Chain A
């Protein structure tokens, strides 16, 4: 049996990779993937804790997180496509219409 703190450590590592990816990478699609990584880090945490506490709430929240993440990805990709039609780029540093 894998102890709980290994799962929590994995979750923290996955979450941190997501945060670092979001802050370091400049491609919008990869930033979107980093956000998914952060959410999945949280999901690992929730499911592990839910099993450890023998309580269903964590797993229920995980289902909600997965479905909301799907909606979020749909909207995010739609925004990227709308942007791409006006300016053929997927690089955040090139999207700089406003300054001040």
Chain B
């Protein structure tokens, strides 16, 4: 038997990431200072990002592909991982859960996302998804002594496992129909045999939509998100509101645009209500929240609805706008969570919206930063959030969904209420409690990077958009 060794160039970033996570796990035994582990993991991620260059290609018999599309998403995951580590360093010490596994788990979860973005086969896709999800469940429950964190992990775990069973049933249906799990061959088989009318195909498409609806927290599959986001450690809330969502969108783009390309009309008809419901429920329920983490959870549900518009457009322009949306979302959302983390100190929770009252008096700089992130999440120029929404809306209009964009804009206006309410509290109310900030150089660095990114992309958006377009061109 002739066994050929597979070409490892396309999987180099993943191999490096695995090695990094395992080395970190061993270093944890030897190194007492946890800051070194964080520095090592950031340095490692930068090295892994460097190996992305020249990693393009297909390997393992076409099961794993590294192209512009996956590379762009991997950059989002690296940004997410680095910023999450930066905002964690002091925070997990305050929460008294300063364990070394924390950083390895973040890296392993990122590894799972990378595999998802690169999966050209449903088996690889499933394994990547589980690798990502299982490590995120543990991270959500990382504050073991806190029952809220336990509950967050429990809910996230139960519904995540439930949704991945749906995904598997969808995979088994499509495997029975086409006899393959390779995404490109599925599309080829369906168009060759004329199976577009087959009910099993529609059923498996719906099962896929359900499973990834859970992952991106789209309504009506969002029930876990508010509880999981509120209970999880704040740094992990930031991590899991960006990473798993972006990974879910990466898979949505690849599976639906390639494997289900022949039933485009049907899956667009499934995603339109999901998108409208996400925007509606996310933006309206967020108004009633008193906890800022929970409010940002509903906001993240709404943002999934906006980004879905790029999928609904169902062309390369739509995908490119969705990709730049997620990149911008990573910066502005983690920036907002960095501010939330800064308010948390040893004896002060700081996650209630009323804690922001009069913040501008005592801490004008922090209030100004929060203002930028809230403007960006609302979508007010000259911040990046405006550009993100603009490109997604434009791609949906060009695809002929003007009415849908009108609906989206109406909900974006509603969202201004609860984002601007924070600003109103910070600038127009008298302070009730004395807030002492827990500053640290790494948190400052994260805030600086996210602020500069939000403003720079807002003023010069073309660079990012061109990058996304170039990334998608070979799709």
Which A residue sits closest to B289, measured CB to CB?
A100
Query: Assuming A42-B172, A83-B147, A100-B294, is B153 touching A64 (CB within 8 A)?
Result: no
A95 to B426, CA, bound (A): 34
A86 to B141, CA, bound (A): 12
**Chain B residues touching A, majority SS:** helix
| CB of A40, distance to nearest CB on chain B (Å) | 10
Q: Which 7 A-B residue pairings sit nearest by Cβ, starting from the closest?
A: A38-B165, A83-B150, A45-B172, A86-B147, A49-B176, A42-B168, A53-B179
Cβ contact within 8 Å between A83 and B172: no
Q: Does A1 contact B (CB under 8 A)?
A: no
B141 in complex: contacting residue of A22, A57, A82, A97, CB < 8 Å: A82
B291 in complex: contacting residue of A32, A68, A100, CB < 8 Å: A100
- Chain A residues lying within 8 Å of B151, measured Cβ to Cβ, are 83, 95-98
Contact with B along A27-53 (1 / 0, CB 8 A): 010011001001101100110010011
Cβ contact within 8 Å between B172 and A46: yes
- Chain B residues lying within 8 Å of A32, measured Cβ to Cβ, are 158, 161
Which B residue sits closest to A15, measured CB to CB?
B169
Contact with A along B435-470 (1 / 0, CB 8 A): 000000000000000000000000000000000000
A79 to B158, CA, bound (A): 10
Q: Does B363 contact A (CB under 8 A)?
A: no
- Chain B residues lying within 8 Å of A31, measured Cβ to Cβ, are 158
- Chain B residues lying within 8 Å of A76, measured Cβ to Cβ, are 157-158, 161
**Docked complex: B138-182 residues within 8 A CB-CB of A:** 138, 141, 144-148, 150-154, 157-158, 161-162, 165, 168-169, 171-173, 175-176, 179-181
| CB of A91, distance to nearest CB on chain B (Å) | 11
B138 in complex: contacting residue of A35, A42, A61, A75, CB < 8 Å: A75
**Docked complex: A42-100 residues within 8 A CB-CB of B:** 42, 45-46, 49, 52-53, 55, 57-58, 60-61, 64-65, 68, 71-72, 75-76, 78-80, 82-83, 85-87, 92, 95-98, 100
A46 to B137, CA, bound (A): 27
A72 to B127, CA, bound (A): 12
Query: B residues near A, CB below 8 A?
Result: 122-123, 126-127, 130, 134, 137-138, 141, 144-148, 150-154, 157-158, 161-162, 165, 168-169, 171-173, 175-176, 179-181, 226-227, 230-231, 288-291, 294
Cβ contact within 8 Å between A75 and B123: no
**Chain A residues touching B, majority SS:** helix
Query: Assuming A61-B126, A98-B227, is B165 touching A79 (CB within 8 A)?
Result: no
Q: Does A17 contact B (CB under 8 A)?
A: no
10 pairs, CB–CB < 8 Å, chain A vs chain B: A11-B172, A32-B161, A61-B122, A72-B161, A75-B134, A78-B138, A79-B137, A97-B148, A98-B151, A100-B291
Which A residue sits closest to B298, measured CB to CB?
A100
A36 to B150, CA, bound (A): 21
Query: Assuming A53-B179, A98-B231, is B127 touching A83 (CB within 8 A)?
Result: no
Which B residue sits closest to A46, measured CB to CB?
B172
Query: Assuming A71-B134, A79-B137, is B168 touching A65 (CB within 8 A)?
Result: yes
Most chain B CB neighbours (cut-off 10 Å) among A15, A71, A79: A79
Which B residue sits closest to A72, measured CB to CB?
B161
- Chain B residues lying within 8 Å of A60, measured Cβ to Cβ, are 123
A71 to B129, CA, bound (A): 13
A86 to B144, CA, bound (A): 9
